[in-house]
């Protein structure tokens, strides 16, 4: 995983959300996992995930940005510009 420190932090936060909110096994999540096929995240789950991310970020993110997300790394890349340490 070629993450910068900040992107690694974002990945870990997203992973924590997937484990706590969606009851996924932490060991099953990496940056290349496909949201729909590997992690069984559906469109409604993705809306919930966006809401959880909004709470962490503290500002609104356009849900439309997430329509193209296919893998966990896509989520990290979408959230990165909005993320505040």
| Residues 36-51 pLDDT 10s | 999 999 989 998 998 9
DSSP per position, 25-49: -GGG--TT-BTTTTS---HHHHHHH
- What band does 2 get if pLDDT is binned at 50, 70 and 90? very low
| Residues 8-32 pLDDT 10s | 999 999 999 999 999 999 999 999 9
3-class DSSP state for residue 24? coil
The predicted model scores a pTM of: 0.87
Q: Environment class of residue 35 by beta-carbon count within 10 Å: exposed (0-12), middle (13-18) or buried (19+)?
A: buried
Contact 46, 69 (CB under 8 A): yes
Which structural domains are found in the chain, ordered by start? 5-82 (1.10.1200.10)
Q: Alpha carbon of 53 to those of 13, 17, 36, 67: distances in Å? A: 9, 8, 18, 15
């Amino acid at each position: 995983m070629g993450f910068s420190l900040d992107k690694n932090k974002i990945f870990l936060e997203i992973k924590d959300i997937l484990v706590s909110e969606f009851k996924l096994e932490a060991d099953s999540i990496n940056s290349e996992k496909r949201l729909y096929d590997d992690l069984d995240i559906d469109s409604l789950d993705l809306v919930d995930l966006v809401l959880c991310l909004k709470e962490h970020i503290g500002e609104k993110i356009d849900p439309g940005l997430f329509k193209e997300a296919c893998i966990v790394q896509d989520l990290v890349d979408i959230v990165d510009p909005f993320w505040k340490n």
